[in-house]
Chains A and B, each alone.
Chain A
Amino acid sequence: MKREEPLWRRYLRFFGPDVAADVDDELAFHLDMRERDLVARGLTPEQARAEARRRFGDVETIRHQLRKGDSRRLRRTRRIEYVEELMQDLRYGLRTLWQHRGFSAAAVVTLALGIGAATAMFTAVDAALLRPLPFREPSRLVSLVSIQVPFAPGGNRSDDNGNTPDLVSVRAMTDLFEQAATYAFGGLNLAGDGEPLRVAVGVVTPNLFTTLGVAPAVGRGFSQEEERPGSARTVILSHGLWQRRFGGDSVLGRRLELSGKTYEIIGVMPRGFGFPQRSDLWIPLTVPTTFESFDAFRGWLPSESIARLRDGVSPEAAAARLRDAWLRLPAEQRRYRNNAEQVPFVPFQAALAGNRQKPLLVLLGATTLLLLIGCANVTNLMLVRASARRREIAMRAVLGASRGRLVRQLLTESLLLSGAGALGGIAIAFAGLGVMRLLLPVEMQSVAPATVDLRVLGFAVLLAGLTGLLFGLWPAFGAARTDVNETMKSGGHASNHRGAGRLRRALVVFELAVALTLLSGAGLMLRSLGALLAVDPGFEPGRVGALEMTFARGTGPGAGAARLRVMSDALDRLAAMPGIEAAGIVNDLPLKGGVSVSVRAEGASEAAETPFARYLQASAGYFQALGIPLISGRLMTPADTDSAPKVMVINQTLARTVWPGQNPLGKRIHGFGPPGGPPEFRTVIGVVGDVRDGGLDNDAPLPQMYFPVYEQYPINVSLVARGTLDTRSLLGSLRRAVAEADPRQAVYNVRTMDEVVAASVAQRRTNTQLITAFSAAALLLAIVGVYGVVAYGVAQRRRELGIRAALGATSSDLARLVAREGLAMAVAGVVLGLAGAYACSRVIASMLYGVTPTDAATFVLAPSLLLVLVVGATLVPARRAARLDPTEVMRAD
């Protein structure tokens, strides 16, 4: 609508037509005209006024009606225009992007890489840290520190003063907690028709499921009654085991034989629920625990306790109360309690995420940096294209497109690119789910695995929008600012826009700096992994196979003898097999957790602080099979039975700790006889090398002592063998030896010691591989960025370089001129990047092992690598510049 109006009103109409004023004007005009005509016919002005209004009718109603109708119409028109323009922009954008397929593909791939990496990492971060756990009011759940179920072999709690920091005392604080439950994760042998099966078992107090707020899908949960020691044995199946073992048939009331005991099936948990870890089934943990509670475990009960805060109780208040209660305990009780009186509990989700939290956030940060580099690269591409498009844009401006319209058009193109990138990124996130699941603690994998859900899709869309604006806004405004006259006059040749060139170089410097930051981080992580793998585990893992088994805990004097028979039989058969060089038994394999007990040397005062030593049971063959050196003395023999004098083999660290500077052979420690009995002693007969326990990244080897396995055959044993066979045959021999000794005995964790070592560093390896992959991608993008800017510079400066050549510059002069540009960017990038790398090393310091955060090798190698690659990327355009033929360049103009 074209209109002429007073100038001042145009300002009011800045945002479009002013409907109300237009209606007022139109009606006022009518009334005035009528009044004037009436006055001309002889009426007085007052009469005319009244008559005009009478003839018009109800002015206010009509005014209102018109205003309403017109503004509705205006809104609709605007909406239609907007949608039409949008469709137009989309069509135009798609056509333009299709016309420049190479550019579009490069941008989309870059963005897909960045968005994909970030989205994939987000799936893991979301699952572990952000998304609430799928339990009832998960924020009220807390993980209690150092709270266990009291142990009472007789079935009654021995110490019942209500003062012991255990599950029973926490439950008694009913004003703070609604419920408190304990769970542990172990394994049992499931007897059946075919091969004996080792199943993963959650041993849980009956109220665990109600505390979490999860109910069985079939049947009932455990009843409080089943918490009492000696009550009927019941079992709840996981959905998976129910399907695998029973084909989903009705199972309630049926019986299962687990490690020689019969359990009645009372329920099945919902699909996907496996807490803690990936449990196949659950049995009750009694309160108090008895010897029977240890059936599913290797010598100790790895239990965790949780509680649900009562409504209205703040975590701070509850923590303060618990702190007070624990501080009233006698000092020696507090000694083993991991500072529980400082931090009595932590939020459940944080406890589950545990030490995974830091690497997850660091990796998410790394992908964010990668995405930023990708954005910088795409911005560069857009800037190059914007200057190539100046003529087109100027033409559209001449044809009447407003600046806002041009910006919108260009932003639509950016968002189309980032949207396509997001689609690719989501595909990458799907593909990466398998790896992301490895990053989650196993407890979370079993209840809330990483998935691509609406939240994740929303995250990807958000990233697409942000990146689209990030790399689109600057070029769009730059292009919309294009001076139309200038561009049309110059015939649209992309003259080197000084500002744009500087911006492009700045972006590349930024990319190089960020890439170097990531590269140094990856370097430190790789060096840590290298240092870790270089740690001497104390044994030779090559060519050694191992399997684990757990005997049914028989009762009576014959049980131990039965185990001994199976064990010796299996060992004898194994040793007789071809290709087996050594075979032995140990209760706990290296690099895993285990039980430690306090050791008091003969003659040491009872008040003195005693060291702890890892308690192991082994046969001589174990040391031979694993290549653990005997430093002095002798190893145990089958004659070292329960009735023989008590002996033990210790490692060097224990020898040094207890008898520094002395010969430990023949020295004695206090034995572990029943309290009140005659003093019992155990004599050191040999010293062996240190073996890493717990993990390779423990700072120092722990003190260890090995009791003869013949003395008291353990329930849980590992059979190990070294052989000249290939892996498959070696593991096959191990399996066969056990199967021949007792076909009903289940075995599990059949693997090589190399795998045991690898498993102990698996987490760190995954983190390192991911950050290395991210930094490699970042490096690649940054180098592509350098190449792009330098090559584009050469293309633009053809004329200038040609003139220089004509004036006598040699090829190497020209090459140097071009290379200098690349090197200047590289040097700036390295200076900034080193600062970034330093900051990054502070952040990841706690994730490093065996290297300092300012590791010299990393801080020299990473920048050197970057410089070499930048030089390489500069070389190609530099040589092109050197080959310029001046006459040809001149003729082209």
Chain B
Amino acid sequence: MPEPVDLLRGTLDLLILKALSWGKAHGYAVARWIEQATDDALQIEEGSLYPALHRLEERGLIESTWGLSENNRRARYYTLTGDGRRQLKQESAMWSRFARAVFAALDAPASPAVTT
């Protein structure tokens, strides 16, 4: 099923990597972290988290193992790989630059001046 590569998808990947940067977590924990960290502002459909997780695993950015959850249930835990850590660093740097640029533009005082 082809999915449009949109801004949100890239953002979701980045958020997942960030969530996992605190350590091993299952999908629900990742969802909860994103929810709290963004103040539930992004309104991500929770289901879309899983295709993203599996995709990241396929790309080798994260790894999964099966383990027991805090309430003793079988759960799939994800951890960041070395590649994933590098990717997180790169993308967050890019996001920061991007965000700074957008903010700078929004805060610009005058209309564009044309010089020759």
Residues of A near any B CB (own CB < 8 A): 1-5, 22, 25-27, 29-30, 32-34, 55-59, 62, 65-66, 69-70, 73
Q: For B69, what are the chain A residues with a Cβ–Cβ distance below 8 Å? A: 29, 33
Closest to A6 in B: B74
Query: In chain B between 37 and 82, which residues have their CB closer than 8 angstroms to a CB of chain A?
Result: 45-48, 50-51, 54-55, 58, 64-69, 73-76
* Least CB distance, B68 to chain A, in whole angstroms: 7
A5 B74 Cβ-Cβ under 8 A: yes
The answer to whether the Cβ of B28 comes within 8 Å of any Cβ in the partner chain is: yes
Q: Say yes or no: A1-B66 contact (C-beta < 8 A), given A25-B74, A58-B47, A73-B58.
A: yes
Please list 12 pairs of residues, one from A and one from B, whose beta carbons are closer than 8 Å in the complex, sorted by A's number.
A4-B74, A25-B76, A27-B50, A30-B31, A34-B28, A34-B31, A56-B45, A56-B47, A57-B46, A58-B47, A62-B47, A62-B51
Q: For B68, what are the chain A residues with a Cβ–Cβ distance below 8 Å? A: 4
Q: For B54, what are the chain A residues with a Cβ–Cβ distance below 8 Å? A: 66, 69-70, 73
* A22 to B26 Cα, complex, angstroms: 13
A2 B65 Cβ-Cβ under 8 A: yes
A22 B76 Cβ-Cβ under 8 A: yes
Closest to B68 in A: A4
* Least CB distance, B65 to chain A, in whole angstroms: 6
Q: For A5, what are the chain B residues with a Cβ–Cβ distance below 8 Å? A: 66, 74
B75 A56 Cβ-Cβ under 8 A: no
Q: For B50, what are the chain A residues with a Cβ–Cβ distance below 8 Å? A: 26-27, 30, 62, 66
* A22 to B64 Cα, complex, angstroms: 12
* Least CB distance, B58 to chain A, in whole angstroms: 6
* Least CB distance, A18 to chain B, in whole angstroms: 12
Task: Kindly count the residue-residue contacts between A and B in the assembled complex, taking CB atoms under 8 Å apart.
Answer: 68
* A4 to B77 Cα, complex, angstroms: 12
Query: In chain B between 8 and 43, which residues have their CB closer than 8 angstroms to a CB of chain A?
Result: 26-28, 31
* Least CB distance, B29 to chain A, in whole angstroms: 9
A1 B67 Cβ-Cβ under 8 A: no
B76 A26 Cβ-Cβ under 8 A: yes
* Least CB distance, A809 to chain B, in whole angstroms: 66
* Least CB distance, B70 to chain A, in whole angstroms: 10
Q: Say yes or no: A65-B51 contact (C-beta < 8 A), given A4-B66, A29-B69, A34-B46.
A: yes
* A65 to B45 Cα, complex, angstroms: 15
* Least CB distance, B111 to chain A, in whole angstroms: 43
Q: For B28, what are the chain A residues with a Cβ–Cβ distance below 8 Å? A: 29-30, 33-34
* A542 to B92 Cα, complex, angstroms: 104
Add 12 more A-B contacts to A1-B65, A22-B66 (CB < 8 A). A1-B66, A4-B68, A26-B27, A29-B73, A29-B76, A34-B28, A56-B45, A57-B48, A62-B50, A62-B51, A65-B51, A66-B50
Q: Lowest 4 CB-CB distances: which A-B pairs, in order?
A: A57-B47, A3-B66, A57-B45, A33-B28
B75 A29 Cβ-Cβ under 8 A: yes
Residue in B46, B64, B67, B75 with the greatest tally of chain A CB atoms within 10 Å: B46
The answer to whether the Cβ of B110 comes within 8 Å of any Cβ in the partner chain is: no
* A59 to B66 Cα, complex, angstroms: 21
* Least CB distance, A13 to chain B, in whole angstroms: 11
* Least CB distance, B59 to chain A, in whole angstroms: 11
* Least CB distance, B81 to chain A, in whole angstroms: 14
* Least CB distance, A72 to chain B, in whole angstroms: 9
Q: For A26, what are the chain B residues with a Cβ–Cβ distance below 8 Å? A: 27, 50, 75-76
Q: For A27, what are the chain B residues with a Cβ–Cβ distance below 8 Å? A: 50
Q: For B45, what are the chain A residues with a Cβ–Cβ distance below 8 Å? A: 55-57
* A69 to B57 Cα, complex, angstroms: 11
A1 B64 Cβ-Cβ under 8 A: yes
* A4 to B74 Cα, complex, angstroms: 8
Q: For A3, what are the chain B residues with a Cβ–Cβ distance below 8 Å? A: 65-66
Which residue from B46, B65, B75 sits with its C-beta under 8 Å from A55? B46
Q: For A58, what are the chain B residues with a Cβ–Cβ distance below 8 Å? A: 47
Q: Say yes or no: A69-B46 contact (C-beta < 8 A), given A1-B66, A4-B66, A34-B28.
A: no
Residue in A33, A58, A66 with the greatest tally of chain B CB atoms within 10 Å: A33
Q: For B65, what are the chain A residues with a Cβ–Cβ distance below 8 Å? A: 1-3
The answer to whether the Cβ of B5 comes within 8 Å of any Cβ in the partner chain is: no
Closest to A5 in B: B74
* A402 to B4 Cα, complex, angstroms: 44
The answer to whether the Cβ of B108 comes within 8 Å of any Cβ in the partner chain is: no
Q: For B105, what are the chain A residues with a Cβ–Cβ distance below 8 Å? A: none
* Least CB distance, B103 to chain A, in whole angstroms: 31
* A680 to B28 Cα, complex, angstroms: 122
Closest to B69 in A: A29
* A25 to B75 Cα, complex, angstroms: 7
* Least CB distance, A252 to chain B, in whole angstroms: 66
The answer to whether the Cβ of B113 comes within 8 Å of any Cβ in the partner chain is: no
* Least CB distance, A541 to chain B, in whole angstroms: 85
The answer to whether the Cβ of B1 comes within 8 Å of any Cβ in the partner chain is: yes
Q: For A22, what are the chain B residues with a Cβ–Cβ distance below 8 Å? A: 66, 76
* A3 to B68 Cα, complex, angstroms: 9
Q: Say yes or no: A29-B1 contact (C-beta < 8 A), given A4-B74, A56-B45, A62-B51.
A: no
Closest to A70 in B: B54
* A58 to B46 Cα, complex, angstroms: 10
Q: For B67, what are the chain A residues with a Cβ–Cβ distance below 8 Å? A: 4
Q: Say yes or no: A30-B51 contact (C-beta < 8 A), given A4-B67, A25-B76, A65-B1.
A: no
* A1 to B63 Cα, complex, angstroms: 9
